Amino acid sequence: MKKLLGFKRMAFLIMMTLAIFAGGCSLNKIEEPTDTVDATQNPFEKNKPQTTVLGSIGHGFINRQLDVNGRVLPLEYNGGELKIEYSVRASGTAKNVGFFIFVDGKAQPYKLDESDSPYLYMHLLELKDDDKDTPFTFVFTPVTGKQGDTLQLSITSLYNPSFIPDMKATSSYGGYQTTLEAGRPLIFNQDAESVDFAPYSQQGGLNHVQLSTEPMTQELLDKHSIVETVDMDKLDKNVYGGLYMDGAMRQDHFQIQKSGTLHVTFKLFGHPGMRYRTTFYINHRALAAEDGVSFETELTKGNIAVIDADIDLEKLEDFSTFYVVSVPINANDFPDDVVVLMKTPSLLLYR
């Protein structure tokens, strides 16, 4: 986690890099794939350990402006559509990549390059060549921001977003659809223009959204004590989350009905004082409720922040990728702590 934060802070100076391994990921180095892997196969199936490096990815801002001390200056918004010149380099299966944008933790729809490109919450790219810089431009009107604000802009990649299990050869996303984040401050020299972003989300995707808190339990701590023991002391500096379907924590797949509703619960807990904005996604499209797309919660000591919602099953496809992304919005209040964007493991909803 600390390595990720290090890259987050260095994103202004160097291209961020991610080496993707079977069963996990590392931010230490870039390695070439050692053999050919069929992108339609899931190399992360449980009980099938692999050591092959599947690919690598790096991305970052280009044409950055520097101050007199050589530090990268913030981006500036001066009205209309903001254009951000960007570049990505990848190899192996990482050449299939998608990007999220968040402004102050709020999910941001955007266009790519051409004026006729549609506004989407995620655009998918299929890069042609290994380890070749591919420049492009993000284009969008910010979803939030007032004159005088300085807000954090997050650009986050999703590895191999096109993959989806078929419940025959594969039943899990495994190490696919992990994230890599770059960030930069955005100064608003005028208010963000008013734009109706409703058409770009899945309207009515979330119903009966409720935000609440509940006391921390030892049972929940035990559930998260997999790699290391999670106790109350760990919660002072770290943040944990979990996704529940009809009351049960799920991480791989969940069978749904053709009609009715599915009750989903997202629980976030840990570092007291941290504030997050959380967005729910189906097939990489943000789900919208009456109150909006991204929901703000604040973590408090000894408590769990809970977001409950219902999903209309008739609006889902037979195979759907479902996950939740939580973005910290006051990380600068805790400069000595590791505070990063969190995404739940992708979950297959299938009939």
Write the DSSP symbol of residue 259: S
Task: Give per-residue pLDDT as tens, 167-176.
Answer: 999 999 988 9
Q: For 2-188, CATH number? A: 2.60.40.2550
- Residue closest to 256 by CA, chosen among 343, 320, 345: 320
At the top level of CATH, the class of 201-350 is mainly beta
Q: What is the pLDDT of residue 40?
A: 40
- Residue closest to 164 by CA, chosen among 36, 316, 47, 56: 316
Using an 8 Å Cβ cutoff, are 150 and 187 in contact?
yes
The enclosing H or E element of 138 equals strand 134-140
Q: What is the pLDDT of residue 203?
A: 73
- CATH 2.60.40.2550 domain residues, the chain: 2-188, 201-350
Residues in the chain with pLDDT < 70?
A: 1-51, 114-115
Q: What is the pLDDT of residue 24?
A: 32
- Residue 149 token pair: 């604000």
Contacts of 172 (CB under 8 A, 6+ apart): 42, 44, 45, 46, 165, 252, 253, 348
Write the DSSP symbol of residue 177: S
Q: What is the pLDDT of residue 51?
A: 55
Whole-angstrom distance, CA of residue 184 vs CA of residue 108: 15
Task: Give per-residue pLDDT as tens, 181-226.
Answer: 999 999 999 999 998 888 877 777 899 999 999 999 999 999 899 8
Give the global pTM.
0.85
Could you count the other beta carbons within 10 Å of the beta carbon of residue 143? 20
Q: What is the pLDDT of residue 240?
A: 94
φ, ψ for residue 141, nearest 5 deg: -95, 125
Q: Is 305 exposed, middle or buried (0-12, 13-18, 19+ CB in 10 A)?
A: buried
Q: What is the pLDDT of residue 42?
A: 46
